[in-house]
């Protein structure tokens, strides 16, 4: 646990301070995205095996009905976001740049889109039943990686969850969706946490919030006292990547998660605040994961907002609803500006792991020329994992993949702090991704 020089807030060592730009959307209430004509639901929106289709083309589906079931343990269900008809089951563009199988649903224009769902009371459930319910509800981690939530929640034998941590850091610039969720869904958040705590049985529950969201910090403290649930609100220093789970654990407990290990190995379970809200909505109202809150922001966008968007809505419709784009060729990103995926195609759908759509102008995007590494060491001071980005970048350039692996490239979670601080404009993270892809390709052989 290291503290900053200025205040007494907890944080992790290293890291960077990018400009925030959160003022664009942090005070805008969450709006509901109107229903559009076509929804595309890729079968692999999560890490793990793709879901298995259980509907046929031309079949009528209700809003919230299951259209694909889990295709294995590390896989989740998929539900229709609207009343409508299955239009096609085919290959469609996926936000990750590939073309992958997906279900397309055409909305029924005359439907009222009323939900007809029954709550799933968690009170009489066993732990196994709870895990299965979470899996079939399609729940994934809403932070961005979209790791199936039930896999995280199923604690293997011999391990215990001592600390349950909710992640409301939201350290990425521009993004404000978790902030708005905490402010507007505070009761559901605490309720969802209580349901989760019932099954994983932690000794202590924390919620980590960066200090730039004082309204969320006070509100959650109040609500927790009101609802009589012991939750410790930990304000953390505003620093990137504070929201990465390993960094958060190091900030709160001062404990480091060893290389290649999971947070559960040090007795910690981390969950995003959005996931906790979705859990409450599923168990209390029966609503599976068919919509999520995303931030649509960026200086190239007319009306930055926080939107409650049904999964599968084309990005183009969301952007158009927010007033459209004001510059000729913006840079479109899915997720935050530091870790988000650049998009070449606006016709891809919003998926479960999408936390934001950003349209940036040349003003925010640094298009530097690349020069030689001058050995200044700023990337070493930035890397939260204490890796040596300069060395790894050089190894990648020379094609020395095995040496990269020896230098722990596989621990890198691509937070892009090193690229951010590099004065020579070296595309470090891009070269790490190349290296990781090569290492995985060679291992697969």
Partner 1 sequence: MFSEFLIGVGILVLLGLFFAVVIAVAYKKLRVYEDPRIDQVEEMLPHANCGACGQPGCRAFAEKVVGNELSPSKCTVSSPEGVKRIAEYLGVDAGSEEKRIARVLCAGGKSEAHNLADYKGTMRTCRGESVVNGGPKACSWGCLGLGDCEVACDFDALHMNEDGLPVVIPDLCVACGDCVEACPKGLFELMPVSQKLIVQCKSQLEGDLALSKCSVACTACGRCVADGAPGLIEIKNNLAVVNYELNNLAIADATRRCPTDAIIWLEGAQFKPPQISPLPLGKVERYPIEEDLENRYWQ
Query: Would you mind telling me the total number of residues written for the chain in this entry?
Result: 445
Q: Which residues contact 179 (CB under 8 A, 6 or more apart)?
A: 22, 26, 168, 170, 213, 216
Q: Which of 3, 32, 72, 91 binds partner 1 (CB under 8 A)?
A: 91
376 binds partner 1 (CB under 8 A): no
Q: How far is the CB of 330 from partner 1 (least distance, A)?
A: 11
Q: Facing residues of 325 across strands?
A: 301
Residue placing its CB nearer to partner 1 in the complex, 292 or 436: 436
First to last CA, the chain: 42
Q: Which residue stretch of 29-37, 56-64, 94-102, 189-197 sits at the interface with partner 1 (rule: CB under 8 A)?
A: 94-102
Q: How far is the CB of 301 from partner 1 (least distance, A)?
A: 18
Closest residue by Cα to residue 177 from 293, 283, 288: 293
DSSP conformation letters of 396-408: HHHT-HHHHHHTT
In 54-186 the beta strands, taken as DSSP E runs, fall at: 60-61, 66-69, 78-79, 84-93, 99-107, 163-168
Q: Which of 159, 326, 345, 377 binds partner 1 (CB under 8 A)?
A: 345
| 342 membership: H or E segment, kind and range | strand 341-343
Under DSSP, is residue 436 helix (H, G, I), strand (E, B) or coil?
A: helix
- By CB under 8 A, the residues from 420 to 439 that bind partner 1 are 425-427, 430-431, 433-434, 437-438
The phi and psi torsions of 137 (rounded to 5 degrees) equal -80, 0
Residue placing its CB nearer to partner 1 in the complex, 128 or 374: 374
Q: Which residue stretch of 40-48, 139-147, 285-293, 336-344 sits at the interface with partner 1 (rule: CB under 8 A)?
A: 336-344
Q: Which residue stretch of 74-82, 95-103, 271-279, 376-384 sits at the interface with partner 1 (rule: CB under 8 A)?
A: 95-103
- By CB under 8 A, the residues from 385 to 414 that bind partner 1 are 397
Count of residues that bind partner 1 according to CB under 8 A: 28
Q: How far is the CB of 377 from partner 1 (least distance, A)?
A: 19
Q: Which residue stretch of 90-98, 110-118, 130-138, 236-244 sits at the interface with partner 1 (rule: CB under 8 A)?
A: 90-98
Q: Which of 115, 368, 374, 376 binds partner 1 (CB under 8 A)?
A: 368
CA distance 44 to 28: 31
Q: Which of 34, 109, 372, 375 binds partner 1 (CB under 8 A)?
A: 372
Q: Facing residues of 332 across strands?
A: 343, 359
Closest residue by Cα to residue 329 from 300, 357, 349, 363: 300
Q: How far is the CB of 331 from partner 1 (least distance, A)?
A: 8
371 binds partner 1 (CB under 8 A): yes
Q: How far is the CB of 97 from partner 1 (least distance, A)?
A: 3
Q: Is 166 exposed, middle or buried (0-12, 13-18, 19+ CB in 10 A)?
A: buried
128 binds partner 1 (CB under 8 A): no
- By CB under 8 A, the residues from 151 to 170 that bind partner 1 are none
- By CB under 8 A, the residues from 210 to 249 that bind partner 1 are none
Q: How far is the CB of 88 from partner 1 (least distance, A)?
A: 11
**Is the Cβ–Cβ distance between 25 and 176 less than 8 Å?**
yes
Q: Which residue stretch of 88-96, 137-145, 198-206, 295-303 sits at the interface with partner 1 (rule: CB under 8 A)?
A: 88-96
In 95-253 the beta strands, taken as DSSP E runs, fall at: 99-107, 163-168, 204-210, 232-236
Q: How far is the CB of 290 from partner 1 (least distance, A)?
A: 26
Residues of 81-120 as b/e, b for ≥16 C-beta within 10 angstroms?
A: bbbbbbbebeebbbbeeeeebbbbbebbeeeeeeeebeeb
Residue placing its CB nearer to partner 1 in the complex, 206 or 432: 432
- CA distances (Å), 225 to each of 44, 56, 219, 233, in order? 40, 49, 10, 11
Q: Which of 87, 96, 327, 405 binds partner 1 (CB under 8 A)?
A: 96
Q: How far is the CB of 313 from partner 1 (least distance, A)?
A: 19
Residue placing its CB nearer to partner 1 in the complex, 371 or 386: 371
Q: How far is the CB of 430 from partner 1 (least distance, A)?
A: 5
Give the residues lining the site for partner 1 (CB under 8 A).
Answer: 91, 93, 96-99, 329, 341-345, 367-372, 397, 425-427, 430-431, 433-434, 437-438
């Amino acid at each position: 646990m290291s503290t900053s020089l200025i205040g007494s807030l907890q944080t992790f060592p290293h890291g960077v301070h990018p400009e925030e730009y959160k003022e664009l959307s942090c005070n805008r209430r969450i709006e509901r995205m109107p229903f559009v004509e076509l929804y595309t639901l890729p079968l692999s929106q999560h890490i793990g095996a793709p879901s298995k289709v259980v509907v046929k083309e031309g079949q009528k589906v209700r809003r919230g009905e299951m259209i694909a079931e889990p295709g294995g343990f590390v896989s989740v269900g998929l539900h229709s976001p609207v009343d409508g008809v299955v239009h096609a089951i085919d290959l469609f563009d996926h936000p990750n740049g590939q073309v992958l199988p997906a279900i397309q649903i055409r909305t029924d224009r005359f439907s009222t889109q009323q939900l007809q769902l029954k709550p799933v009371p968690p009170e009489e459930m066993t732990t196994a039943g709870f895990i299965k319910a979470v899996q079939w509800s399609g729940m994934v981690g809403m932070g961005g990686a979209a790791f199936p939530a039930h896999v995280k929640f199923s604690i293997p034998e011999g391990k215990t969850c001592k600390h349950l941590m909710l992640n409301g850091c939201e350290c990425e610039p521009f993004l404000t969706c978790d902030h708005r969720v905490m402010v507007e869904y505070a009761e559901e958040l605490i309720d969802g946490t209580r349901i989760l705590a019932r099954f994983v049985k932690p000794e202590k529950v924390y919620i980590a919030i960066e200090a730039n969201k004082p309204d969320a910090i006070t509100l959650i403290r109040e609500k927790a006292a009101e609802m009589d649930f012991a939750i410790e609100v930990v304000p953390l220093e505003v620093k990137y990547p504070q929201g990465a789970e390993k960094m958060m654990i190091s900030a709160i407990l001062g404990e480091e998660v060893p290389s290649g290990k999971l947070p559960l190995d040090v007795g910690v379970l981390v969950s995003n605040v959005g996931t906790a809200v979705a859990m409450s909505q599923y168990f209390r109202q029966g609503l599976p994961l068919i919509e999520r809150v995303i931030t649509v922001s960026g200086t190239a966008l007319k009306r930055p907002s926080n939107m409650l968007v049904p999964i599968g809505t084309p990005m183009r419709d969301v952007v158009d609803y927010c007033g459209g784009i004001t510059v000729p060729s913006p840079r479109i990103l899915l997720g935050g500006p530091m870790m988000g995926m650049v998009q070449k195609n606006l016709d891809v759908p919003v998926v479960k792991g999408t936390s934001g759509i950003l349209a940036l102008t040349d003003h925010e995007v640094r298009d530097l020329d690349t020069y030689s590494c001058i050995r200044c060491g700023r990337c070493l001071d930035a890397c939260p994992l204490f890796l040596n980005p300069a060395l790894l970048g050089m190894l990648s350039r020379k094609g020395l993949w095995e040496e990269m692996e020896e230098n722990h490239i596989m621990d890198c979670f691509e937070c892009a702090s090193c690229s951010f601080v590099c004065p020579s404009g070296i595309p470090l993270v891009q070269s790490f991704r190349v290296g990781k892809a090569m290492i995985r390709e060679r291992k697969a052989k």
